[in-house]
Structure 1
Amino acid sequence: MERWPQFQEIKESVRTMKGITSITGVTDGQKSHLTAGILYPFDSSCIIITYDELQAGRLFDDMKLFYPDKAALFPAREIMLYHAAAHSREITGRRLSVLERLASGEKLIIITTVDALMQPDLPFDFFKESMLEISEGDEIPLSELTAAAVKLGYERTEAIEGPGQFSVRGSIFDIFPLTSGRPYRIDFFDEFVDSIRSFDVLSQRSEDREASIRISPARDLILNADLLEAGKAGIQKSYKQLLQKTKDDKKFDRLQLQNRMESLLEELDQGIVSDHLINFFPFFFEKPGCLLDYAGREAIVVLDEPVRLQQRGDRAAEEFASYFNDMLVKGEVLPEQANLLGSYDVLLARLNDFRSMALLALPRSSLGFEPRRIFALTSRTIPAYHGKWELLAQDLSFWKDKKYSVFLLSGSRSKAENLADALLEHKLEALILSEAEGDVLPGQIAIVPGSLSKGFEYTDGRFVLISDQELFGSRKRKTRPRPKRKKLDPFTDLKAGSYVVHENHGIGKYLGIEKLTVNGQERDYLLIRYAGTDRLYIPTDQMDLIQPYLGMDDKPPRLSKLGGNEWQKARKKVKESVKELAFDLLKLYAAREAATGYAFSRDTEWQRQFEESFPYEETPDQIQSLEEIKRDMESNKVMDRLLCGDVGYGKTEVAIRAAFKAVMDGKQVAVLTPTTILAQQHYNTFVSRFGEFPITVHVLSRFRTRKQQKETLKALKEGNVDVVIGTHRLLSKDVKFNNLGLLIIDEEQRFGVGHKEIIKEMKKDVDVLTLTATPIPRTLHMSLVGIRDISMIETPPEDRYPVQTYVVEYNESLIRDAIIREVQRGGQVYFVYNHVKRMEKMAEKLRQLVPEVRIATAHGQMSEAVLERIMVAFYEHEYDLLLCSTIIENGLDIPNVNTLIVYDADHFGLAQLYQLRGRVGRSSRMAYAYFTYKKDKILNETAEKRLRAIKEFTEFGSGFKIAMRDMEIRGTGNLLGPEQHGQISAVGYDLYCKLLAEAVREMKGEEVPEPVETVVDMQADAFIDDSYIPGENHKLQMYKRIAAIESLEDKFDVEDEMVDRFGDIPEPARNLIQISYIRALAGRLGFAEIIQRGREVRMKLRDSQALSPRVLMIIVNENRSRLRLIGSNPPLLVLQLKEAAGTEALSAVSGMLEKIKDLQESEIRV
């Protein structure tokens, strides 16, 4: 590009002149390339302004090819003038992250929309002064840091669960900056910062050490005391004036204005700065900040299609004015709030002070500004080659002869190498560059493993760039690596009133922790209420025997009776049931291992080409799952594999590749789905992916005419259909395959018993891949290794636009606005209403509210045929809004639905809301979820708690763990079948999984040691003090961790964690850890009791075989002065202590047990 005179002229004009340089003839693909070239060498920020979020997303993806670490998206906030109880913070986080990076002096390329730029931000100087930089060794009182975090908009919590929160425990300060991908732990020594480390949210353990961190605002609006007072006075004055002005206006809702403003002023009196205060921005800052201020005067501004920008700017202003006037009459806003959206013309006028360029596809006479210079480029778009290498080679030879510099984008390194080999076969040599920056001489061809939306040719510049889109028919989009889900700790959410399961005593209700003094020693006990008036105090060192009760549904369980054998009977019954299940699973597995199936060939060249045409970069889990599936297919065993992963995690692509592999070997593939609409969706996906290959795909369901079905059946029988996709219609007797090789089943648990029997028969001699969206806990997955083949996809996909979520009072005006906005942008809406009997009334209300919207209703009590007809019609956009029950939480994928409204959200569990929210935001445009609750309804305690949980979940992602646990339980129930649901409910989920794992090990012939209780009674205070760990949840969590100690490594790990999370361990807590270690070690060595009385510790063995006589003799001989053996049956060792005091006594006992352990191990080795 640097050798092209016209480009040099454009570059000089843009980089040296203030004002706008206009360039016409620029296609979409060129926009990022031309900008990147002009910015090189990169020494100042750049703002690219475009007309909508889709185009912003495309330009962002394109710019990442040239400046991967510098490109950043700056999205628009939704202007929500209604009062929301809570809203999600992802958009705020993205905006503030850009502002923070710029305010810190970083140079960025920011891609934004007109709407985003017209919205106010904190003034640059105010933002910069508010930012905190904290480094190791800094002197800053902890109380000052706490006050600063509150002022910056952070919420104080017991423990951090998401961005925007902070927590203080002793000398430890945890914070999750809103603009950071991870939280940090600051450890103080007196008033000095001793260390800074990042930590993991789920485990709460520290990870990497940091020299310093930046803490910037957590809200779009933060205030100091002066601004708060001035703003409050302004609001009060405006409110009183408006009341006066409208006293005779019958249309004006004065009561609502009074309610809204009085409540706001009350908040401000208390110094509360809530999220919705952003709507009152004009009262606090006369001159708001703008992205241009943050980028600095040296920034280069790019206008993408200025005519469209002007149109969008005018339309945004009109839409806001109409919305604002409507809200003014409703008493929701004050007149000054009309300034919440700036003017595009004012913005444009400011660009005369910046170096700017306007990029246009076509010349325009009216631009809304006077360009300083105008350039016209001669450029051409690139034809689609889509793997037609002959045609590509001809064009490349032409460009090579004409001395063009040619760049080919391959999407990935492996594709680059394959492409270079393919070109060599046509006698064309190509260089492979590692990045999109490098000199390519005229007449040379270079391959870059990158991606761009469109290719182009500069005819005058003799420069050609061909994107992966033109080469392969798809664009390789990088997915940002995101962490897998970690194992969840159920004790995180145990509260007083929760149901628990004690392995020996059964189901009870946990009432809390109580401190008791027994034999002069202070200990914490868990108080559990059982049936009747029975209560039981459980020592905290026995917490490994307790789990929260989790059943298959929300019904409270029956409490067990203490004493008697009711619980033992229930447990025995479950044990027998899981033994039977394990036996059946093993028998099935053995039968499959013995059966000989078809061994598929290794991957073909076509398979490689097909897989490379996938438009996204595969996640590691997808790659691993595919390897496991192919290994099964290429063996001569019959495959029966379960592929497990959440909706949108990429299961379908893995299944499509398996189907392609089967077809390459001349085999037919059947894809079985529970509903017609899923069959249709899969059909569309398969046809689209197989587009470039000669593969015939048919669909078989009740929506095909008799004639079409007949033709498909005939073609199937004759072998003229490669892939058939259908509902249980595929299981009918008249369906005959010519050469079936692979059966793919989507959500098998949703088929009836009869259909499952037919599937069971098919599984005997055909490779089967089953897909499920309900997660399966890793513990269960591990316990089923060797009897059920499971592949897991746990890596979430990248989310460019998160779902903007609101928790709001149900308000018809808000609902109308939300529906109309979605429909006007061509999208669709889910309205979840879980009262089937009243659904028609609700539909009528909605038709009156939004008469211009096409509404359909759907619920589970409809006949299957009617329901499917409605769902297909909605899928094909014959309706704009679907009023439905929770049926949509099951696997439906309609990317065009991007608004979700949940009526009476306080009646739903978090897991349901989490899954419902996952139904929107499945495309690259912004999605919205409104969790509504009834206005002024007096909520009962349960609903109040649930609503609070929903708010926290919405704002900080709190409660995600509960949601995941709920879904894992469902996943377990689905995997093991409905007959196991009752067993899971009888003993609780965790104990059920433990019993199942034991049964599987027994069936495999592995030894399962009988659980043995070792009583440890030492004269030492052993508890966790409230001043050390204040929150009961965290205390329970640590008690659980301590009770689970089994080895010296575990003991050290627990001590490390406690020091890391809570600071130096006080003596009673250290004693507790030591007692738990003694209990584990003594239990393993065969001791039944370790009891201290004064300076004597009696160590009683379980039986005479527990330790060998030789070990007993050696240990007594070596410690004659303080250890003696009483030869009773079972034997008893008596240890004499120097000190009866707690810590020394515990060290003496653990030291003696370790010596016995070493002797026992050396005895075994001999």
Structure 2
Amino acid sequence: MKQALAVLKKAPEFQQIRKAITKPAGRILVNELSEEGMAALVLSGYFDTERPIVVCAPNLYKAQLLYDRLSIAVGEDALDFFPQDEFITSEMLVASNEFKMERINAIKDVIDGKRKIIVTHTAGLVRPMMPKADWKKAELRFETGSEHDVEALARRLVEYGYKREYTVEKPGDFSLRGGIFDVFPLNQPKPFRLDFFGDTLEKIKIFDIESQRSVGTVDGFSAMPMYEFFYDDDGMQKLLGFIDERTGSTAFTAVALERIGRDREAITDHRELDRLSRYIPILTGVKTTLVDLLEQPVVYFFDHHRVYEQFDAMTAEMADWYLSTGDYARMGFEMLLDLRGIRFDSVVAMDMLDRAYAQPFDATVKIFGREPEKYEGDFEAFYREAGVLVKKNAVIVAVKTVKTRDNLADMFEAHGLPFQIIGERDAVAIGIVNLMASEHYFDLSLLTGGLVVITESALSRKQPIPKRGRYVSVYQNSKRLSSVNELKPGDYVVHYDYGIGRFLEIKTMELGATKNDYIHIEYRDGDKLYIPVDAIAQIQKYAGSEGFEPHLNKLGGSDWAKTKQRVRAKAADIAEKLINLYAQREHSIGFAFATDDPMQADFEADFEYDETPDQLRAIQDVKKDMEDTRPMDRLLCGDVGFGKTEVALRAAFKAVLSNKQVAYLAPTTVLSRQHYHTFVNRMEKFGINVKLMNRFVTRKDQSVVLEGLKNGTVDVLIGTHRILSADVVFKDLGLLVIDEEQRFGVEHKERIKEMKVNVDVLSLSATPIPRTLQMAIMGVKNMSLLETAPENRYPIQTYVLERNDTVIKDAIERELSRHGQVFYIYNRIDDIERVEAIIKKMVPEARVAVAHGQMNKTQLENVVEGFIERDYDVLVSTTIIETGIDIPNANTLIIHDADRLGLAQLYQIRGRVGRSNRIAYSYLMYKKDKVLTEDAEKRLKVIKEFTELGSGFKIAVRDLSIRGAGDVLGSEQSGFIDSVGVDLYMRILQEEIRFQQGVVEPEKPAKIKATVSKYIDGAYVDDDFVKMEMHNKIGSVRSRADVANLLEEFTDRFGRYDPDLELYMYEKLFESLSEKAGVEKVLETKTNITLIVSEAASAKLSGVKVFDTGNDVSQYFRFTFKNNRIHIILDTIRLDRHWLFTMTTFLEIATR
């Protein structure tokens, strides 16, 4: 873009602006500019001066668009985003952290002296800030060899809003275990492990959040505070003193005192500090804004008069809020600083219209710009216009690839349009079109300065996909659910033999000469069961449907055996059904589709996004199935937006290339229409005829489609159950795609069954399923899972707060102001129309519709269809809102009583927004001043974690996957799944499938064990979950290399280990190697140890190898052969270490 802007330098108007911004102080007003022109002016200033630049847009939406436009031209490394929640007065219980992370990254760049364009908006510009000196002092720097008082460091991190945890799993966590100090700063993409010797920092490692292992070392890093409001003990005393002085000298109402009390608590605990920035001027004694942090910045106002209008609206909102909070305002806060009182040395005020202002400006300049043309594939219009434009302007046509550039060059030549091909550094000429391949241009039309830029997106019909930017949550690096056994005290567990109990703790107990860890489980009537940790595989964490509370079993009772019997009988039926279906298809002969050709490659290259690894695997699986002679029957599972449709598109395209027809069956009219448009957009250009059949298609059009299906001119038919009717006859159907089969009725399912015979079938499901189900039915049903979430351009900003009419009104108005739509979830049908009336009164200009489950299907579909077509702005709906539906224009979600909904519901509903290139907002509200039940409070706590992608997110996904299992196996299964928990159910199902397939499970020999202590010292690790994880890892060692690897990991994570821990690992290795060698008995005396190898295993072992290995490993080995069995004898009395070290070395070599 720099070479284009060079053209503007010649214009006197731009020279005047350049002169103004290179002076220490100057104020200039620029009128008549388009938004693209404003962005160009900012860039021109960025290249013309060395001063820092702040651009202030009126609101967050405009700031986001500006940020995106600027990033095209200069890349994201030259920019910082400074977004601020615009609901300045709302008392959020919790807000997600992405905005804060962006602001802190921007502040970090400022204090490091990096010159960038900082993009903000009115709320960001008037926010009270800590002074620059405080920020510099607050930055914690760590370098190898530096000295730190570790306890003081921990205290300081708490002051900065960090939270002490046992294991660091997300930004803002730190932990201290002996000399190991882990911390995950908000301003860093990865966490760090600090290795201290005393107070000296010996080593800094980066570690992986999933494995908790170190993955590299660095010489140093810095950690910024978690909040923009921070203070030490002296600062706390000053703030508390201020509160005491005000409350002591002024009489406040009970409402205000409660609010002040909440503030006091938050200040004392260093939490919820995001909502307390109003205390910053009280703490620091000065009023500081973002501009004050910079050295002589140039401040550009993007749509100047709207910035001031926005500020006035915020001031009015604040005044209303003060009235609603009793006399809280008498505390004397400044929630936002006065925009008119902020001193700006250099200002470029940009406006779309020609306006006069009361404020004095040194000069007013008019730069005429217009909105760039969109040609949308109409090249004739482009040639006509370009021929006129080149006479007086520098015209640049910038496309993304050299191939497109060369294609356009051929077209320009054929039409006699004068042009030259230029590179990124070549001068731009007037009088001809300057054609180039570059992604660093946006559309622009400036009559003043004579510059026109036309990009590929303006020329073609295809809309550009916003590239994924740096503005992405660091929380994506948070730890995911690592194992189903993430046990906390109080969790339900299932033991295969004893049933459902409650996990209490891991207890270390001494028995004779050894210490062992036991899992302590409580059963009905307070019965206790202690399970040795090395039998950990016998228990699993119980997982059932959300809200289902299992009954504890009685130890020694018969109820558990009966429950298992009932579940096994049901699982046997399912196993039989699955096996018969699979066998039937295995013996069917279908059509083998042709392998991929160049046309398939062209079609796939037309996909606008990068495929996820899961998608690529699924596509490969589907193609392999299709190319086989047996008919495909594959289930593809993945949440909305995870890319199922693309897999279906590629399969359909492949089928059509082999001259076969495709039927795509959708459960609702709305979904059939959405899929139809997607298919037409992708396939039409390749000459494929796609048709739609649902109740909105006229009879006349339907008869044309029916005729086309019979004679083969229709390649792909998309529709609802209408396509299952008897009059729908295909000439040659090759592929049937079924979307959400579980949502069709019994009658339709029977017809689907008939259609499935000898055609390839791809079933799609939006509900995730448990991996354990995939494992259980592997070999009898083909499945592909899409588990990688799509990479959204912007994360969903989630807030949890008391219901607040001002916030609801503002949220709806803000969404409408950016031409978006709003979902309002209200889950009570009896008075949903009352809520509709309230919203209509609150926002009279909004067009509001209602959707709920008691409407008939046609009514409901008409409303949803109207919402998709943008006939309505707000949809007030129960949780019935279509799960598979894709409405990218709806990007604000308000949930009326979030504390009444289950997590899985919240997760799925929240997924309705945030599906486009805009910031999406989700407001989870609960009743004002409501005394929450313990359950609802717990739920809200988990919802809070859910906003941070913490355990709430994990629980939601887990519950949904259980629902998904019901969809695959039949919804009537959910009761059986709940009675034993999902994991045990899957184990029983797998056992039944294998039994019916005639697989005989070999009887496992009794475990060979050695008498050593098997425990993890509480002084080394005192967290039960981490202990459980360690025991699991120790139980899976299979070689000495595994042991060495594990010892290295534990040293890395927890410091020096106890010799007992190493011995415990070697004992588990001994068990594994003994089983491999066929050892059937161990005899231990005071002087030696004897292993007796079974007759079968002795016959396979080479006596020479056994003898030679023994001699190589130790001189104290002896061997005898009795009763066809090898006896391995080791004289332990003469060894200087425990015999396990020597014996495992011998067994590992002998069994290779």
Q: TM-score per shorter chain, which class?
A: 0.7 to 0.9
CA contact (8 A) 1:454 1:467 kept: no
Mapped partners of 1:629, 1:1067: distance in 2: 52
Would the alpha carbon gap of residues 365 and 660 (structure 1) be closer, same or farther in structure 2, given more than 3 Å must change? farther
Aligned-residue offset at 1:191: 1.2
Identify the residue that residue 805 of structure 1 maps to in structure 2: 798
Mapped partners of 2:826, 2:712: distance in 1: 46
Aligned-residue offset at 1:684: 4.8
Q: Secondary structure at the match of 2:202?
A: strand
Q: Secondary structure at the match of 2:251?
A: helix
Identify the residue that residue 247 of structure 1 maps to in structure 2: none
Identify the residue that residue 644 of structure 1 maps to in structure 2: 637
CA contact (8 A) 1:670 1:740 kept: yes
Identify the residue that residue 1079 of structure 2 maps to in structure 1: 1087
Range moving further from structure 2, 971-980 or 154-163: 971-980
Range moving further from structure 2, 938-947 or 1112-1121: 1112-1121
Q: Which runs of 5+ in 2 are unaligned?
A: none
Identify the residue that residue 517 of structure 2 maps to in structure 1: 524
RMSD (CA atoms):
4.4
Aligned-residue offset at 1:146: 0.8
Would the alpha carbon gap of residues 977 and 504 (structure 1) be closer, same or farther in structure 2, given more than 3 Å must change? same
Mapped partners of 2:950, 2:517: distance in 1: 32
Equivalent residue letter for 2:800: V
Match of 1:95 among 100, 103, 120: 103
Identify the residue that residue 61 of structure 2 maps to in structure 1: 54
2:2 aligned with 1:6 = no
Equivalent residue letter for 2:211: S
Would the alpha carbon gap of residues 817 and 1012 (structure 1) be closer, same or farther in structure 2, given more than 3 Å must change? farther
Match of 1:381 among 368, 372, 382: 372
Q: Secondary structure at the match of 2:153?
A: helix
Residues 698-746 of structure 1, C-alpha deviations (whole Å, 9 max, x = no match): 5433455666656655565566655543322222223334555544332
Aligned-residue offset at 1:60: 1.9
Residues 825-864 of structure 1, C-alpha deviations (whole Å, 9 max, x = no match): 6554444444566767877887888888766554445543
Identify the residue that residue 1140 of structure 2 maps to in structure 1: 1149
Identify the residue that residue 1031 of structure 1 maps to in structure 2: 1023
2:299 aligned with 1:301 = yes
Identify the residue that residue 477 of structure 1 maps to in structure 2: 466
Equivalent residue letter for 2:194: I
CA contact (8 A) 1:162 1:956 kept: no
Q: Which runs of 5+ in 1 are unaligned?
A: 245-253, 1162-1166
Q: Secondary structure at the match of 1:1070?
A: helix
2:1094 aligned with 1:1067 = no
2:290 aligned with 1:264 = no
Q: Secondary structure at the match of 1:146?
A: helix
Match of 1:408 among 364, 389, 398: 398
Matches within 5 A, 1:296-335: 296-297=295-296, 299-306=297-304, 310-331=305-326, 333-335=328-330
2:70 aligned with 1:63 = yes
Identify the residue that residue 590 of structure 1 maps to in structure 2: 586
CA contact (8 A) 1:199 1:207 kept: yes
Would the alpha carbon gap of residues 486 and 260 (structure 1) be closer, same or farther in structure 2, given more than 3 Å must change? closer
Identify the residue that residue 250 of structure 1 maps to in structure 2: none
Match of 1:604 among 574, 584, 599: 599
Mapped partners of 1:628, 1:55: distance in 2: 44
Identify the residue that residue 26 of structure 2 maps to in structure 1: 19
Would the alpha carbon gap of residues 936 and 322 (structure 1) be closer, same or farther in structure 2, given more than 3 Å must change? closer
Mapped partners of 2:477, 2:133: distance in 1: 39
With the length of structure 1 as denominator, give the TM-score of the two structures. 0.85
Equivalent residue letter for 1:178: L
Residues 390-422 of structure 1, C-alpha deviations (whole Å, 9 max, x = no match): 887898899999996744221x57766776787
Range moving further from structure 2, 257-266 or 369-378: 369-378
Matches within 5 A, 1:887-906: 887-888=880-881, 890-906=883-899
Mapped partners of 2:1072, 2:574: distance in 1: 28
Aligned-residue offset at 1:257: 1.5
Match of 1:763 among 736, 749, 756: 756
Mapped partners of 1:335, 1:415: distance in 2: 65
2:84 aligned with 1:85 = no
Would the alpha carbon gap of residues 619 and 425 (structure 1) be closer, same or farther in structure 2, given more than 3 Å must change? farther
Mapped partners of 2:51, 2:893: distance in 1: 41
Matches within 5 A, 1:926-1005: 926-934=919-927, 941-955=934-948, 957-978=950-971, 981=974, 984-985=977-978, 987-993=980-986
Q: Secondary structure at the match of 1:1149?
A: helix
Identify the residue that residue 752 of structure 1 maps to in structure 2: 745
Equivalent residue letter for 1:1025: D
Would the alpha carbon gap of residues 291 and 688 (structure 1) be closer, same or farther in structure 2, given more than 3 Å must change? farther
Mapped partners of 1:29, 1:317: distance in 2: 26
Q: Secondary structure at the match of 1:756?
A: helix
Range moving further from structure 2, 720-729 or 189-198: 720-729
CA contact (8 A) 2:1069 2:1144 kept: no
Residues 1134-1160 of structure 1, C-alpha deviations (whole Å, 9 max, x = no match): 53323799xx32xx3243233234223
CA contact (8 A) 1:283 1:336 kept: no
Identity among equivalent positions (%) equals 34
Range moving further from structure 2, 774-783 or 1071-1080: 774-783
Equivalent residue letter for 1:886: T
2:576 aligned with 1:580 = yes
Range moving further from structure 2, 968-977 or 147-156: 968-977
Would the alpha carbon gap of residues 471 and 700 (structure 1) be closer, same or farther in structure 2, given more than 3 Å must change? closer
Matches within 5 A, 1:33-44: 33-40=40-47, 43-44=50-51
Range moving further from structure 2, 166-175 or 222-231: 222-231
Q: Secondary structure at the match of 1:489?
A: coil
CA contact (8 A) 1:13 1:21 kept: no
Equivalent residue letter for 2:226: A
Matches within 5 A, 1:188-207: 188-207=196-215
Mapped partners of 1:1109, 1:380: distance in 2: 84
Aligned-residue offset at 1:149: 0.9
Residues 574-604 of structure 1, C-alpha deviations (whole Å, 9 max, x = no match): 7745753663464255246x41155487353
Residues 661-688 of structure 1, C-alpha deviations (whole Å, 9 max, x = no match): 6667776544322223323433455566
Mapped partners of 1:815, 1:488: distance in 2: 34
With the length of structure 2 as denominator, give the TM-score of the two structures. 0.86
Identify the residue that residue 497 of structure 1 maps to in structure 2: 490
Equivalent residue letter for 1:255: A
CA contact (8 A) 2:57 2:301 kept: yes
Would the alpha carbon gap of residues 373 and 545 (structure 1) be closer, same or farther in structure 2, given more than 3 Å must change? same
Q: Secondary structure at the match of 2:175?
A: strand
Q: Secondary structure at the match of 2:671?
A: helix
Aligned-residue offset at 1:218: 0.8
Q: Secondary structure at the match of 1:774?
A: coil
Matches within 5 A, 1:525-924: 525-530=518-523, 535-552=528-545, 554-557=547-550, 569=565, 573=569, 576=572, 579-580=575-576, 583-584=579-580, 586-587=582-583, 590-591=586-587, 594-599=589-594, 602-604=597-599, 608=602, 616=609, 619=612, 622=615, 625=618, 638-656=631-649, 659=652, 669-686=662-679, 698-703=691-696, 713=706, 723-737=716-730, 740-777=733-770, 788=781, 790-810=783-803, 827-834=820-827, 857-860=850-853, 862-876=855-869, 881-888=874-881, 890-924=883-917
Matches within 5 A, 1:217-296: 217-239=225-247, 243=251, 254-268=253-267, 274-296=273-295
Mapped partners of 1:727, 1:138: distance in 2: 68
Range moving further from structure 2, 4-13 or 47-56: 4-13
Would the alpha carbon gap of residues 150 and 269 (structure 1) be closer, same or farther in structure 2, given more than 3 Å must change? closer
Q: Secondary structure at the match of 1:931?
A: strand
Q: Secondary structure at the match of 2:529?
A: strand
Mapped partners of 2:363, 2:837: distance in 1: 58
Would the alpha carbon gap of residues 961 and 1052 (structure 1) be closer, same or farther in structure 2, given more than 3 Å must change? farther
Would the alpha carbon gap of residues 845 and 23 (structure 1) be closer, same or farther in structure 2, given more than 3 Å must change? closer
Mapped partners of 2:737, 2:853: distance in 1: 25
Mapped partners of 1:645, 1:637: distance in 2: 25
Aligned-residue offset at 1:939: 5.2
Equivalent residue letter for 1:1149: L
Matches within 5 A, 1:326-365: 326-331=321-326, 333-335=328-330, 339-347=334-342, 350-351=343-344, 353-354=345-346, 356-359=347-350, 363-365=354-356
Mapped partners of 1:1139, 1:942: distance in 2: 63
CA contact (8 A) 2:160 2:270 kept: no
Would the alpha carbon gap of residues 842 and 1160 (structure 1) be closer, same or farther in structure 2, given more than 3 Å must change? same
